[in-house]
Amino acid sequence: MKLTINGKEQEYAGEEDRPLLWYLREDLKLTGTKFGCGVAACGACTVLVDGAPMRACVTPAASLEGKKITTIEGLDTPAGKAVQQAWTELDVVQCGWCQSGQMLAAAALLTEKPKPTEQEITDGMNSNICRCATYQRIRGAVARASEIMG
């Protein structure tokens, strides 16, 4: 079956229950999507499916036929670029492992709500865990990305 990943069509011929995460990381070598918990509890594996955040660790690749999947490697929307610029300006990262997922969640949030309130930022980002607790900078960077988007 065909999946569209970062604008490129891919033929998926794997097992029906194999999560997208492992297809991305192992077969396509798109290792920017991270493994964190395997149970959709942390958000490290967040990708966008037709623009909406989704947990690649519990979503079978085979369930995404015809969908447009965006990973950190293909995040080139205006919101995505603003997010990456803001993340860089504020030096948000520490270990960095969760940050692909954080940035994709932020890009989805800003696409839907370009001018989020502080509460909307927290609500929109609350399902992504950062064990380094960079949350304060993430909050700041989402707000900064919103500014960059104008």
Partner 1 sequence: MPDTATFSPSRRFVLAAIGVGAAGFAVGCDSRTAEATGPVTLTTLGDYVRVGSDNTITVYLRHIEFGQGVSTGLTTIVAEEIDADWSQMRFEHSPADNAKYGNPAFGGMMGTGGSTSIFSSWQQLRAAGASAREMLRQAAAKRFGVDASDVLLVKGKAEAGGKSATYGELAVEAAAITPPAVESLTYKDASAYEFIGKDRDPAKKFGRLDTPDKVNAKAAYALDYAPEGALTALVARSPKFGGKVGSVDDAAAKAIAGVTDVVQIPQGVAVLATNFWAAKKGRDALKITWDDSAAETRSTDAMIADYKKLLAKPGLEARKEGSGAAGLRGAGEIITADFEFPYLVHAPMEPLNCVIDYKPGVSATIHSGSQMPTGDQMTACFILGFVTTGPDGKPAPDTSKVSVTTMLAGGSFGRRATPDADLVSEAAQIAKAVNGKAPIKLMWTREDDVRSGKYRPMNVHRMTARINNGAIEAWGDRTAIQSIMAGTLFDTGAPDFSSIEGSNDIAYDIPNISVDVHLVKNPVSVLWWRSVGHTHTAYAKEHFFDVAARKAGKDPVELRRTLLAKHPRQLAALNLAVEKAGTLPAGKTRGVAVHHSFSSYVAEVADVTVNADGTFHVDRVVCAVDCGIVINPDIVRSQMEGGIGYGLSAILGEALTIKDGAPVQTNFYDYPPLRMNQMPTVEVHIVPSTEPPTGVGEPGVPPIGPAVANALLAVTGKTYAKLPLGAKA
Interacting residue with partner 1 among 11, 13, 39, 66 (CB under 8 A) = 39
What one-character-per-residue DSSP string does the chain give? -EEEETTEEEE--S-TT-BHHHIIIIIS--TTSPPS-SSSSS-TTEEEETTEEEETTTSBGGGGTT-EEE-GGG--SHHHHHHHHHHHHTT--SS-TTHHHHHHHHHHHHHH-SS--HHHHHHHHTTS--TT--HHHHHHHHHHHHHHH-
145 binds partner 1 (CB under 8 A): no
38 binds partner 1 (CB under 8 A): yes
What is the smallest separation between the CB atom of 104 and partner 1, expressed in angstroms? 10
55 binds partner 1 (CB under 8 A): no
Task: Enter the tokens of residue 69.
Answer: 């999947």
Torsions phi, psi of 68, nearest 5? -100, 115
130 binds partner 1 (CB under 8 A): yes
The C-alpha atoms of residue 113 and residue 107 are separated, in whole angstroms, by 10
What is the smallest separation between the CB atom of 115 and partner 1, expressed in angstroms? 19
Q: Which region, judged by CB under 8 A, interacts with partner 1, from 5-13, 29-37, 48-56, 106-114?
A: 29-37
Compare residues 99 and 146 and give the one whose CB is closer to partner 1: 99
134 binds partner 1 (CB under 8 A): yes
80 binds partner 1 (CB under 8 A): no
Q: Which residues bind partner 1 (CB under 8 A)?
A: 15, 17-19, 22, 25-26, 29, 31-32, 34-39, 41-42, 44, 71-73, 84, 87-89, 91-100, 103, 122-123, 125-139
